[in-house]
Amino acid sequence: MMWTITPLDLGAVELDASRTVVTQKPGTLTRAIVQAFLLRSADKIVVVDSGFRNADILKRLGMRGFETPEQRLEAQLARHGIKPADVPVLIQTHLHIDHAGQTDVFPMTTTVVINRRELEYSVSGLSGASYPPEDIIHLIHRLHTPNALRLLDLEETGGEEVLPGLKCVAAGGHTEGSMVIYVETEGGLACLCGDIVYNVREQLMSATMLNADPITSGNYVNTRRSEKAAIKRVLNAGIRFLYPSHDGAATVEQGRVVRMGV
């Protein structure tokens, strides 16, 4: 099954630049776009991620959020003639404050797909306000509603196909339970990589001392080695297109980003 990928503009977040790319000097603020993705096949609709609940909630992490009414998830879907109730599957790459804040706009008839390890981590207390209680409690309600939640065990299975042409794989980076999504498209294999890449140019296209050694973000809970490995696995998975959550898409050839855009 072939899919089309359409980014949805859900506003922006202002944060310290060193969190987006580890080589950036701390104390400088930058804005990163926030995106969800609309996936469509001949007869299926899937949404990936749901943005932040509201701009004010980001203050809990010392960040600022920016959005217009047109950048709310429901408004972005409406531009494509879609209502939340029309979406049978919502996939969350992970459950951070800027990714899982509007999950509750989808009815319980929508199956939300997350990695079981990410749900476990979200209630561990290890990352505090990164996982707002308003967002997580909704997932607990889904946990006890038939067919409202699908939990994947990606670390054990090596990857699970949610629908034909749509496979989720443990990222091994950013958070303990983050996942990446491989999508079959007419132009080749694409990867929705969540937050293992924030800035394509600076992390993947900048000159580095070591050949083919990606620069990490400054926002992850694993080791720097595992974060680099997570990026390398995606780039070497035979993908043609890379879709980060906070940057524009890029084209990949033989494991290297060759240009921005698809």
Give per-residue pLDDT as tens, 126-178. Answer: 999 999 999 999 999 999 999 999 999 999 999 999 999 999 999 999 999 99
**Whole-number mean pLDDT of the chain?**
97
Q: Is 40 left (phi over 0), alpha (psi -120 to 50) or beta?
A: beta
Q: In what order do the strands lie in the sheet with 166-170?
A: 160-163, 166-170, 179-185, 188-194, 241-244, 250-253, 256-260
For the chain, domains (ranges, CATH) are 4-260 (3.60.15.10)
Q: Is the confidence at residue 21, as pLDDT, over 90?
A: yes
Predicted confidence at residue 208, as pLDDT, reads 85
pLDDT confidence band for 185 (50 / 70 / 90):
very high
Over range 29-39, report the average pLDDT: 98
Tokens in use for 11?
């506003």
Question: What letter does residue 59 receive in the DSSP assignment?
Answer: G
Give per-residue pLDDT as tens, 65-124. Answer: 999 999 999 999 999 999 999 999 999 999 999 999 999 999 999 999 999 999 999 999
Q: Return the half-sphere exposure (C-beta side, CA atoms, 13 A cut-off) of residue 140.
A: 10
Distance CA 80, CA 262 (A): 20
Predicted confidence at residue 77, as pLDDT, reads 98
For residue 88, give the nearest of 29, 166, 204 by alpha carbon: 166
Q: Is the confidence at residue 216, as pLDDT, over 90?
A: yes
Distance CA 47, CA 39 (A): 6
Predicted confidence at residue 209, as pLDDT, reads 80
